């Protein structure tokens, strides 16, 4: 007995049905049933292939392209929200691994993948993406040699950004302790995985935000594959290093490993151990060098002192002997001491003669005559001064009298003497018009022979009255 296929669009189940008894379904029912079946079977998948037909996001923000390999092609869609969260940049021909769910599009009777995440596939794809990112950041000047700063010769505090476990931090601490022990602050981070890039960037920014910053930073990780070291090609790390006010030493991987942080760092160390060696000098070598310089300084000082001593001795031999230098002075002193008694006698006789001549001019009569003459001269001077003062006083009095008369002629009191009066308000200000006088106001009237206080009144139809 022959049978037909019976498809249940509600459950997606396919059952055998007797011949001639198959149910009829609409195209939409079949399309939606297939959609549910595909989504249930392929709810989450990872697909590897090459990007094809990529033209960037649509005006709506969604992206439509395809993933293909040598034998098939799969339509792909990235919704706007998922596209904004992608960490990898899409480009035509890039081999990728996409994650999402398989579904169908009933309007075209086709199936497609709704992508939620995209990862570059293979070393070639990563290298192409790395080269593109390197060119972009270099164009912004983040790798310029002019912006790199010197590493401090002997830092007091060293900041280390690395995993708190593993050989890297032990190698760094051991090497620092061997060369020159310093205070070390470790900022623990993941150095592999999706969150590693963000954690390292935040650690660098955190060190720069500290009140007492380290003198130098070491960002370190052990060796690994390109995929393992990929977080250190993150733009966030490169920009954090370029913006750091603290000099940064990068020590990622082995000597042959190169990441973008190496180009932005102020110094690139081939290994974490080499980073520790760059950060501090060897203490024993410094002590030895200091001792050597101290010994050289002592020898140099001794040579200078010996040279000065020889020069002083040579100069001393060219000088005359002290006795020879003082011999002439001694002889002059002896000669002067021999002539001193006779000189004193001659000086005494000369002064006695001068005194005798002066004594003859100092008789009482001559003194009286000189005193009388001085008195006469003083009297004449006083008389002249008195006459001058009398004349000056007369002139001043005459001028004062003229000014007094002029003041009297200009004073308002002369007007009062002719029968007029001066009216003032309570504050003593003159009143010049009747309109300025208010009713019941206190006023003062000044006559030639005195002043009178009054109060103003006002009668109907008349002006102010007193």
Give 61-74 pLDDT, tens digit per residue: 899 999 998 889 99
Region 173-199: mean pLDDT is: 91
At 273, is the pLDDT very low, low, confident or very high (cuts 50, 70, 90)? very high
* pTM beyond 0.95, yes or no: no
Q: CA angle, corner 183, sides to 181 and 185, nearest 5?
A: 130
pLDDT at residue 221 in the model: 92
Report the percentage of the chain scoring pLDDT > 70: 92
pLDDT at residue 275 in the model: 94
Report which of 362, 162, 130 is spatially closest to residue 248, judged by C-alpha positions: 162
What is the Cα–Cα distance from 356 to 364, expressed in whole angstroms?
Answer: 16
pLDDT at residue 439 in the model: 84
Report whether 90 contacts 81 (CB < 8 A). no
Region 149-171: mean pLDDT is: 93
7, pLDDT greater than 70 = no
Q: Structure tokens of 389?
A: 């003062």
39, pLDDT greater than 90 = no
Mean pLDDT lowest among 4-13, 152-161, 288-297, 413-422:
4-13
What is the Cα–Cα distance from 318 to 42, expressed in whole angstroms?
Answer: 113
Q: Give the contacts of 216 (CB within 8 A, at least 6 positions apart).
A: 151, 152, 155, 158, 159, 246, 247, 248, 249, 279
249, pLDDT greater than 90 = yes
How high is the mean pLDDT of the chain?
Answer: 84
324 phi and psi angles, rounded to 5 deg: -70, -35
207, pLDDT greater than 90 = yes
Classify residue 462 by burial, with Cβ atoms within 10 Å: 0-12, 13-18, 19+: exposed
Q: Give the contacts of 17 (CB within 8 A, at least 6 positions apart).
A: 3, 4, 5, 6, 23
pLDDT at residue 360 in the model: 67
pLDDT at residue 17 in the model: 52
Residue predicted with more confidence, 109 or 271: 271
pLDDT at residue 280 in the model: 93
342 phi and psi angles, rounded to 5 deg: -65, -35
pLDDT at residue 2 in the model: 45
Rounded to the nearest angstrom, the gap between the alpha carbon of residue 147 and the centroid of all alpha carbons in its chain is: 18
Region 55-63: mean pLDDT is: 88
What is the Cα–Cα distance from 75 to 49, expressed in whole angstroms?
Answer: 11
Report whether 62 contacts 42 (CB < 8 A). no
1, pLDDT greater than 70 = no
With b for 16 or more beta-carbon neighbours within 10 A and e for fewer, the 386-398 pattern comes to eeeeeeeeeeeee
Give 347-364 pLDDT, tens digit per residue: 888 888 888 777 766 667
Region 450-460: mean pLDDT is: 76
DSSP H or E stretch at residue 249: strand 248-252
Classify residue 271 by burial, with Cβ atoms within 10 Å: 0-12, 13-18, 19+: buried
Q: Structure tokens of 109?
A: 């009777």
């Amino acid at each position: 007995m022959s049978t037909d296929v019976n498809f249940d669009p509600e459950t997606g189940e396919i059952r055998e049905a007797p011949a001639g008894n198959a149910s009829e379904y609409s195209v939409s029912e079949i399309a939606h049933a297939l959609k549910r079946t595909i989504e249930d079977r392929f709810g989450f998948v990872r697909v590897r292939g090459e990007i094809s037909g990529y033209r960037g996001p649509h005006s709506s923000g969604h992206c439509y392209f395809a993933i293909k390999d040598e034998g098939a092609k799969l339509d792909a869609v990235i919704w706007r929200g998922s596209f904004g969260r992608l960490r990898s940049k899409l480009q035509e021909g890039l081999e990728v691994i996409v994650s999402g769910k398989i579904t169908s599009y009933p309007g075209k009777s086709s199936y497609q993948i709704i992508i939620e995440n995209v990862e570059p596939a293979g070393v070639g794809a990563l290298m192409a993406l790395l080269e593109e990112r390197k060119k972009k950041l270099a164009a912004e000047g983040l790798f310029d040699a002019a912006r790199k700063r010197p590493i401090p010769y002997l830092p007091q505090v060293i900041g280390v950004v690395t995993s708190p476990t593993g050989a890297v931090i032990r190698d760094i601490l051991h090497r620092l302790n061997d060369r020159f022990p310093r205070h070390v602050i470790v900022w623990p981070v993941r150095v592999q995985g999706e969150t590693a890039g963000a954690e390292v960037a935040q650690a660098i920014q955190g060190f720069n935000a500290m009140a007492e910053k380290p003198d130098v930073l070491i960002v370190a990780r052990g060796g690994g594959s390109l995929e393992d070291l990929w977080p250190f090609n993150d733009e966030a790390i490169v920009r954090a290093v370029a913006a750091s006010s603290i000099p940064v030493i990068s020590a990622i991987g082995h000597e042959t490993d190169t990441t973008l942080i190496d180009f932005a760092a102020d110094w690139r160390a081939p290994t974490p151990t080499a980073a520790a060696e760059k950060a501090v000098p060897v203490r024993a070598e410094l002590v030895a060098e200091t001792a050597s310089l101290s010994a050289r300084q002592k020898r140099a000082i001794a040579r200078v002192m010996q040279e000065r001593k020889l020069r002083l001795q040579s100069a001393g031999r060219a000088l005359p002997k002290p006795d020879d230098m003082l011999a002439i002075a001694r002889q002059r002193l002896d000669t002067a001491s021999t002539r001193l008694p006779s000189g004193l006698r001659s000086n005494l006789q000369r002064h006695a003669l001068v005194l005798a001549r002066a004594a003859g001019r100092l008789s009482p009569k001559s003194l009286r005559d000189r005193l009388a003459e001085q008195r006469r001269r003083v009297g004449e001077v006083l008389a002249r001064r008195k006459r001058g003062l009398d004349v000056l006083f007369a002139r001043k009095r005459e001028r004062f009298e003229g000014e007094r008369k002029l003041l009297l002629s200009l004073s308002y009191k002369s007007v009062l003497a002719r029968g007029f009066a001066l009216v003032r308000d309570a504050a003593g200000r003159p009143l010049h018009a009747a309109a300025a006088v208010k009713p019941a106001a206190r006023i003062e009237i000044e006559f030639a022979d005195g002043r009178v206080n009054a109060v103003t009144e006002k009668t109907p139809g008349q002006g102010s009255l007193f």
